[in-house]
Structures are given as structure tokens and as C-alpha cells.
Amino acid sequence: MLKISEITVDYRLEPIGIDNEKPCFSWKLESDRQDTIQAKYSITVKYDNDVLWNSGIVESNQSIYIEYGGSALSPRTKYDVSVSVWDDLLINASISTSFETGLMGSWNAQWITHTLSDSEACPVFQKSFKIYKQIESARIYSTALGIYDLHLNKSRISDEYFSPGWTSYNKRIQYQTYDVTEHLKESNDLNVTVANGWYKGNFGFENRTNLYGDKAAVLLELHIKYSDDSMSIITTDESWLYSTDEIRYSEIYHGEIIDKTFTANDSFPVKIYDFKKSNIISQECEPVRIIRKLDAVELLKTPEGDMVIDFGQNLTGFVEFIGCFEKGKEIVLQHAEVLDKNGNFYIENLRSAKATDKFICSGENDIYRPRFTFHGFRYIKVTGMGNIIDIKKFKACVLHTDMRETGTFECSHKLINQLQHNIQWGQRGNFLDVPTDCPQRDERLGWTGDAQVFASTAAYNFNTSLFFEKWLKDLAADQGDAGEVPFVIPDALIREDGKVPSSAAWGDAAVIIPWTQYRAYGDKRILENQYSSMKSWIDYLSSEAGNEYLWKTGAHFGDWLGLDMEQYFTRQKYSVNASTGSTDKYYIASAFFAYSTELFIKTASELGRTDDVQKYRNLYKNIIRAFRDEYTTPNGRLVCETQTGMLLALKFNLVEEKFKEGITKRLVANIRKHNMQMVTGFVGASYLCPVLTENGYHDIAGKLLLQTKYPSWLYPVTKGATTIWERWNGIKPDGSFENPEMNSFNHYAYGAIGDWMYKKLLGISEIEPGYKVIRISPMPIDTLDWVKGHYESVYGTIGVSWNMSGKALSLKVSIPVNCKAFIGFPDGREVQVVGSGEYVFE
């Protein structure tokens, strides 16, 4: 039997509000027989009964990203899609879906704003209207300068949070589409509440406000189609009013004040706001939602007398609670990641972020929760309830971008399972519309270096295709005129002089992440969309390097938080100078110049840009030659033989083949010198285990993973971590903390080890982009008796499970329809090639 299990349009299931003029269709196949291959497909797209596109029967095994090829699509229109496929035995399967276009640039509404001057309350924009006809369908298209929430007839019309999301607002603003057919009545009240959010709130460093503008504003259209085929449109204009409501204060860093006793007595006329509409785009990635709710696990009274609730997991989101309390009573929730070594509430690492929500009670039974803020926390301190608190009435609402979970990893080692748990929760906590560095302190910025080192691991854990597609477009939008890439995206660190400083390994996200996404999902559109940005970055590096072909200018983060400066590693004291590690920053910069150029050449080749292939291939040869002349001796020694220095030389193929064995041996000797421990920072840590495995020292890589002493991946696990830490020793062995100025306990970058765990321990990696051709080649390490997991590729589920009994390996694999796999074995026997289906090897 052949079955189409899923069909998507631009990665989405039955999307509404898309503005892509040529959407792509993808589907997954299932079959009850092995070696099933798609032989043919046919796609039909209709509007009502009119056929806009019929692909005909196409003899092809392509089942992903097939571009619409019909006549032009119209705005605000629903299209029906039918797909039929035939396998190699001509067994047929069919499926249907639909998609609906958005406004596609045709706005009728006007931006409206308020005239509040000194109030910190959130403005609420209001419109009342009546409907006298039978409704067939209704859609709201809306966006805001700020973050907004929609209510229609007192009902929240969506489960999304922080819309329209964080983009480079002056260049790109997303709008959302909502189906409100079931919400409309004869008499209707439409309310739009807008908070400062990322647009104009207190955000970035130095307590800055009004980063993009100084006015909250709304743009909205409600399109109603009636059963008699007539239409009406309600838009934001001068007829709207505004007031304020119970949200008296709202800032992302600091929290909210919600006054349930507040009643708005007056409404005021809105003002038309002159702001462009040409930069408005439809929603590009999945929205932020409450993905799950966690129960409180314990009520604590600290030695200092605070009442603290423990949710058992460091997370990103907010807390909701229910209850009936005396009218006017103030209940305050303060958030923290950890308790100190004495068991007291610890907030020093939040820096200036207050992370506090205050609720003034109504006297009635209510649900209390914020709407426009989020916190990074495991613990909350509760004041205003006394010492008797019913923790069953408290829930921690976990917020993040609603990415589909695609990867699982489980093994016989309890601490490694907790490490995997921490990696995934670190991603959940920091993939909130943009890939933030941390969710708790006064930062929460889209640092490019963190995202770059973690991108491959991220794509195993969750489907990040749309998430990074949106973020990379903002990267391109915020690039400097010369191609410079800011430290954070969107660029919230804008400087008065207009300059855009860049750092190696951070700015290289412009090239590395698109290539990583392409390898994970097989979608060339990501390369096409980012090609100009990628090329601009390489050209910027080339201009900085000049005829020397070495990047030896500017300030860089180096091997950020590297531990190999003697001052840091021995004394374990914070030092700004020591934070960059001891690997020469220009060595790192030139190494990444070579690596990004190599990836750009591969990108140009994939897209058929032959002129660029030749041009940048010549550049690459010059970089490699210059690097070897500058940084290697005639006998193959590196000028910079730190752990990270040797890792980059091996990973990026910067040295001659004949020298790699010697460098690898010296790398291993360095690790042994440091008592089988790493001393790398952000840059080196992500390459450590992969390079060791690829160069014949898989056993050393395994020992590093299993290390439990500081610094190691498992040390934080032994200290009770439930997410990845920013620093290897955020909590020291004696229970004290590292310097609070930079000590996040939810920082995903060191979770990049997950890529190696999936690829080498579980054994799943791609040979062809998108896992059309798969490599299954698990590599066991000491103390692991079994490993199992899966990866949900764009073709379907790839499953692996293996057990070791003595020297005997039992391996079970599952390969999706329309794919094939090369099965490798740790004993070195001949690789086997299999098609789709389930297999067992002994």
C-alpha cells in the first residue's frame, strides 16, 4: 500500500495569508514494502472549479519543493491542491490540501496611533460595528509597531504571542492573517492592545528605548465575505478610538503591572500615523505560542524567609495562577533561574532586568498572567500571599516559536540523556522568534555567533527551516553597505556613528547558516534568497584582507569564553581580556575567511553561478596559501597550537594533508595535558568531538563527552542543570557563582555537541541535501550499551536503534520512502546500501 501521509505548502499545513507568488509543494510517502521509490507525480491547483495549473504526469522522484507553475495568484484567495503519485510498481496514492493568499501588498488601511504622552499603560485601539448579512468567511490582516493582541467580542482570536514578531522594523514588518469567521456577531467590538515590545521598549544595552520608533501604532483590515457574494472591508482609520485597560505597564525585560480593578472611563480619537507600508510582508515563520504548561513541583521557604515556587525546569515564558483574592491586594511574582548555595533566591545575574510581574486583584475569581513579556526562570518568589500558597494553582507557561520537534536521542547513560534534555530545552528557551543568546537578563539578543555554532544541532532537534529563513532575511537587511554583519540580528546595537563592526565566527553566520539549512532541508531557495548576502560578506572579508588574503583588522570575540588563558583557567576568575581565549584572534578570523569562502563556492556551484565559482575559487586558493605561509612552519607545526587553533586547521582543511596526523596527535596531547578536558570557548567547542572522530580519535571524543569534572558538558548536569549554561562553570564546585555580569543558565551555544551525538553516536547524517541519500553509521563509545532515536526529515522518519552486547552490535534502522541509505558498521565491514523500509543487522 502506498500512502501520502502529509502535504505542505511552503513548509506549512493548509496555510492562510501567504504572499509567495510561487509557493512550493512537498509531501511525505509511506509504504508497507521495502525499496519503494516514487516514479511519477501530478499536481492540480484550482480556484473553485477553474484549473489554474495542471502539471500533467511528471516522471520524477521529486517530492519536495515543487514550485507552482500556473497563472498568477490573486490576493485573499483560497486555492485547492490535489496531488497524485505513483511508485515504481505504479501503485497510486492521492491527497488534497489548500492554501490561501494574503493581501500581497494591496493595503487599504491607514496606520493609526494614540496621543498618550506620559502614560506607561498599553493603548487599546477600538472599533465597534454591526453586521446585518449572513457571513461566509472573514479574515483579519493586521500588524503593529510594537507587539499586539487582538480581541473580538471579548474573545482572544489567536493563541499567538508577540506578533508581529521581531524584525528589522524599518526595513521589514510582518503582518498576520486570522480567520475570524466564527467570532463575528450582529454587534461587534474589535480591540487591539499594543505594548512597546522590541519596537520601542527598553531593550538592548544602556537602557535604551525607542530603538525603532517612539509611537505604538496599528494597521488592520477586516475583510468580510457574505453569502450573497458581496464584500465589506473595515480598516484602521480616523473612525477608531483608543483607551487603556488593565495592563498599566509592560516591558520585556522588566515585566508587567496588571490592575484587575482598573476601568477605562473614556475613549479618545486616534491619530493617523505616517509610516510606510511598502516594507510589510506576510508572516514568514511559525508564531510564538504557549507550547506546554508545567506544574509547580515544590514550595520552598528560603533561609531569608522568601516564599519560592520551584517548577523543576529552567524555561522561558511566564507564570499564570488562578484564585479569588481581596480587591486591591497586590501579588508580585519575581523570576530567577537558580537559588544560591544557601538556598536563597538569586537574581544578580539578571543585571538590570527586573523580571517582575505585579497583579492588583479584582476581588473575584480570576486567571492572572502577563501578555507581552517573557522571563527566563525556574523559580518564582511570591509576595502578597503570605506563607500559605497552593502551588496547584500555579502553572509555568512555556513560550517559544512553534517549531515542529524533529529529533530524539536516548541512550543507556543517564547523564547524557539529561544533557540531551538540556540541549533541547536550551533551544526551546532561546528560539523565541529570533535565536536569542539568553532569555532572562537585560540582553536577549540574536547573537550571530551563538546561532552559527548551534545551527546544525538546532535542525536535528526542531524544524528550523522557516525560523532561520526569516532571521537570515533580517541579517541581510541589517548588513552594512560594505557587507559587514552586525554582532546581533536584528541589529539592536545600532551605533551613533553608523558603523557596523563585525567579528569572525559571528558574521560568518551569513554563510554558514544558509549552507547548514540547505544541507538539512535540501531547499535551494534558502541559498538563492541569501546569495547576495553571502557574497557581500565574502567581499567584505576580502576587502579587509586586501592583497595579504588574511583578515588581520578589527576587533573580534576570538574563542569567546575560552579557558586556555592561564589567568582564567588556573584562577577561575572573570577577566574581560581573558574572555577571548588564547587563540590568536586574527588566526581565527583568517581561518573563518577561508571556511566561509569555501562554503560560498559550494553555494555558487549548487546554483550554477559558474563565473563566481571560478572567481572565488581563485580567492580561496590565495587565502589557503597565505594562511599556510603565515601560520604554519615548513614541518607542519602551527604558530597557534591551542586546542581551538588545531581544531580549526583540521576542520577547515587549512593545512596540507601530510601534516594532519601530526597536528591531531598534538591536539590529543594537549587534551591529555589538561587532564582529558577541553579548554575551548564558543568557537572550538563545537568542533572538538567531530574533529577527533573524523581524524581517528573517536575514543578521545567519547571520553571528553563522558567527563564530569569542570570544564565539561556533563559538569553542569552534575550540578543540577536543566538547560545549557553560558559558562562551563556557571556554578562552581563549591556552590558559588561565576561573575554575575555574564552568567546565564540558559545559553544554548555549548549545546552544539548535539550535532555530533546525532551524527556519530546515533549515526544519522545526510549524504545528499535533505537526507534524500542518508548515511547510517553509528560509532559506539565506552560505557554506552545502547542508543536509540529518530530524525524526521523532509522525506519522513529516519530511525536508528543499536545495542552492544560484548563486542556484538545489533542495529535496527528505518528509512523513509523515496530515499536510500548507506549503512556503515563500526567493525569496518563493507557498507550496505538499502532502500526504504525497516532493517535489522547483527
Rounded distance between C-alpha atoms, residue 67 and residue 62, angstroms: 11
Sign of CA dihedral 714, 720, 724, 730: negative
Distant-in-sequence, close-in-space partners of 615: CB < 8 Å, separation ≥ 6: none
Using CA atoms, how far residue 550 sits from 484, 534, 569, 624, in Å, is 16, 18, 29, 9
Using CA atoms, how far residue 435 sits from 449, 601, 722, 746, in Å, is 10, 27, 19, 12
Set of cell numbers at residue 266: 473614556
SS3 category, 799: strand
Set of cell numbers at residue 348: 544578580
Provide the 10 A C-beta neighbour count for residue 356: 20
Between CA 303 and CA 777, with CA 708 as vertex, the angle to 5 degrees is 135
Rounded distance between C-alpha atoms, residue 713 and residue 694, angstroms: 20
Rounded distance between C-alpha atoms, residue 821 and residue 35, angstroms: 10
Sheet architecture: strand order including 24-31:
2-9, 24-31, 66-67
Set of cell numbers at residue 195: 505594548
Rounded distance between C-alpha atoms, residue 519 and residue 497, angstroms: 38
Known catalytic residues?
Answer: 443, 726
Cα 636 to the center of its chain, rounded Å: 40
Please name which of 353, 175, 347, 335 lies closest in space to residue 251, comparing C-alpha atoms: 353
Using CA atoms, how far residue 147 sits from 178, 200, 367, 435, 467, in Å, is 16, 10, 22, 18, 18
Pairing mode, strands 78-87 and 38-47: antiparallel
User: What DSSP letter does each residue of 438-461 carry, written as one string?
Assistant: -SSSS----BHHHHHHHHHHHHHH
Provide the 10 A C-beta neighbour count for residue 415: 15
Burial of residue 611, with CB atoms counted within 10 A of its CB: 0-12 exposed, 13-18 middle, 19 or more buried: exposed
In 68-200, DSSP assigns E strands to 78-87, 92-101, 112-113, 123-130, 135-145, 147-152, 155-156, 160-161, 173-179, 187-195
Provide the 10 A C-beta neighbour count for residue 209: 12
Set of cell numbers at residue 520: 538539512
SS3 category, 549: coil
Amino acid identity at 768? E
Using CA atoms, how far residue 678 sits from 501, 711, 833, in Å, is 30, 7, 37
Between CA 554 and CA 560, with CA 559 as vertex, the angle to 5 degrees is 90
Contact (Cβ atoms closer than 8 angstroms) between residue 724 and residue 717: no
Helix axes 610-631, 585-606, angle to 10 degrees: 160
Set of cell numbers at residue 396: 509555568
Q: Cα-Cα-Cα-Cα dihedral of 242, 243, 244, 245, to 10°?
A: -100
Start-to-end Cα distance in the chain:
28
Amino acid identity at 685? A
Set of cell numbers at residue 410: 536516548
